[in-house]
């Protein structure tokens, strides 16, 4: 440990740097914002500032800034891994007291790719926490020791095999039986953290397992999605087409396709009304039927229209080939997963011993 006067000097230096940065932002803030208005980083940066402000309501400013930066490093790990796999992702978005996330603009095609992207967050997050721990040891800073401990804890919790945490996604490439470990281990974490948020995550995960492996195995659950379409009536009447009444019902011929982003669509036709429509589907599925459920006559400024209500009935497509991962890859991810979890646990203990956390 450094002498007390040197510790105070280091803390004072740290505060001067933070204060200087804040002063720079205040002076140059307007110019910076004018640049960010046309930049893709405006949204993420604003969400970062809001998160820092929210955490600062409870914790010191220095800790709040450091914690959000650790979240940023973690999310950048996912971004880098996704880019390496050629998958476009959004910039990190920060949500106060919930963490941060990135949105996948195109979903992975297999569990191995999903696990690779999931692993990037805890891996880079761990490297960032080690750097903070090294700085804490060099400066003998209680603030940095606290941040290092929280950083290791954050990445360790993220390794729990629970969806949507990173560990739950890594488990898809190791073995899905790890989800049962997460189901039981999650209860211990809930008791330890006493976190309502983590309880909600665990409860949603438990329900998803029940829905996927118990309820759907018993019966084929049929889902539906409805949309309304407006069809001009007067051009059809001029050509001599018969306009059906409000009680008319029928099934429509359809076809389905997916774009490069794995977004699935269903297209359908009603030749008698010269109509063709398209509906995006919420997930990959098997279409059962497309039917007209209701017709309404609507008068608009540009004339009489027929409002057609269509319903698409579908069942969820469970692609078991998604989880086909080579045995060598399962071992690689499994060993890496175990070693990283052990390393994080050891580092938490080391921070506790050295920094008296």
The Cα 10–Cα 139 span in angstroms is: 6
What residues are paired with 309 via a beta bridge? 228, 294
Which residues, including other chains, have CB under 8 Å from residue 160's CB and lie 6 or more apart? 167, 168, 182, 185, 186, 189
Choose between 144 and 223: higher pLDDT.
144
246 & 211 share domain: no
Residue 343 belongs to a domain: no
Domain boundary among 176, 201, 216: 216
The Cα 273–Cα 28 span in angstroms is: 61
What percent of the chain stands above pLDDT 70? 84
- Joined together, the tokens standing for residue 21 give 């940065």
Please count the structural domains in the chain.
2
Residue 78 belongs to a domain: yes
The Cα 95–Cα 101 span in angstroms is: 8
147 & 164 share domain: yes
**pLDDT tens, position by position, 55-99:** 999 989 999 999 999 999 999 999 999 999 888 888 888 888 888
Answer whether 313's CB lies under 8 Å from 283's CB.
no
- Residue 317's pLDDT is what? 65
Does the pLDDT value for residue 21 go beyond 50? no
**pLDDT tens, position by position, 102-141:** 877 777 878 899 999 999 999 999 999 999 999 999 998 9
Count of other CB atoms within 10 angstroms of residue 334: 16
116 & 235 share domain: no
Q: How far is CA 21 from CA 12, 63, 77, 251, 337, in A?
A: 14, 15, 25, 65, 38
**pLDDT tens, position by position, 173-230:** 898 888 888 888 888 888 877 878 788 888 888 888 887 767 655 555 678 889 999 9
Q: Is the peptide bond before 165 cis (omega within 30 degrees of 0)?
A: no
Answer whether 50's CB lies under 8 Å from 182's CB.
no
63 & 144 share domain: yes
Does the pLDDT value for residue 15 go beyond 50? no
158 & 119 share domain: yes
- Residue 163's pLDDT is what? 84
DSSP 183-195: HHHHHHHHHHH--
- Mean pLDDT over the full length of the chain: 82
Residue 350 belongs to a domain: no
pTM for the model stands at 0.66
**pLDDT tens, position by position, 256-295:** 988 877 788 999 998 888 889 999 988 778 888 999 998 8
Choose between 194 and 341: higher pLDDT.
341
Of the candidates 290, 249, 248, the residue with the CA atom closest to the CA atom of residue 268: 290
Does the pLDDT value for residue 2 go beyond 70? no
193 & 249 share domain: no
pLDDT category, 7, cuts 50, 70, 90? Answer: very low
Domain encompassing residue 268: 223-318
Answer whether 127's CB lies under 8 Å from 148's CB.
no
Does the pLDDT value for residue 339 go beyond 90? yes
Residue 38 belongs to a domain: yes
pLDDT category, 31, cuts 50, 70, 90? Answer: low
129 & 37 share domain: yes
- Joined together, the tokens standing for residue 100 give 């941060």
């Amino acid at each position: 440990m450094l002498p007390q006067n040197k510790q105070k000097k280091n803390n004072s230096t740290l505060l001067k740097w933070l204060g200087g940065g804040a002063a720079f932002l205040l002076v140059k803030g307007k110019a910076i914002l004018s640049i960010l208005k046309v930049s893709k980083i405006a949204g993420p940066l604003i969400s970062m500032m809001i998160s820092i402000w929210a955490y600062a309501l409870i914790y010191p400013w220095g800790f709040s800034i450091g914690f959000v930066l650790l979240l940023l490093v973690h999310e950048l790990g996912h971004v880098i891994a996704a880019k390496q796999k050629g998958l476009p992702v959004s910039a990190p978005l920060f949500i106060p007291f919930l963490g941060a996330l990135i949105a996948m603009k195109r979903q992975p095609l297999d569990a191995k790719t999903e696990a690779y992207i999931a692993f990037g967050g805890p891996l880079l997050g761990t490297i960032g926490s080690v750097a903070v721990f090294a700085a804490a040891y060099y400066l003998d800073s209680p603030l940095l020791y606290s941040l290092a401990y929280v950083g290791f804890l954050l990445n360790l919790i993220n390794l729990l095999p629970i969806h949507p945490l990173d560990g739950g996604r890594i488990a898809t490439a190791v073995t899905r039986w790890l989800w049962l470990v997460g189901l039981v281990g999650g209860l211990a974490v809930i008791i330890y953290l006493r976190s309502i948020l983590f309880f909600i995550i665990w409860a949603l995960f438990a329900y998803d397992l029940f829905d996927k492996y118990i309820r759907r195995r018993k019966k084929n659950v049929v889902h539906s999605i409805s949309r309304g379409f407006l069809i001009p009536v007067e051009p059809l009447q001029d050509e001599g087409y018969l306009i059906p009444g409000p009680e008319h019902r029928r099934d429509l011929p359809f076809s389905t396709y997916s774009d490069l982003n794995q977004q699935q669509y269903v297209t359908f036709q009603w030749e008698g009304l010269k109509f063709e429509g398209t509906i995006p589907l919420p997930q990959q599925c098997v279409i059962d039927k497309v039917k007209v459920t209701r017709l309404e006559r609507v008068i608009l400024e540009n004339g009489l229209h027929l409002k057609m209500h269509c319903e698409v009935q579908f069942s969820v497509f469970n692609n078991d080939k998604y989880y086909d991962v080579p045995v060598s890859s399962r071992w690689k991810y499994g060993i890496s997963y175990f070693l990283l979890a052990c390393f994080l646990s050891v580092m938490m203990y080391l921070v506790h011993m050295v920094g008296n956390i």
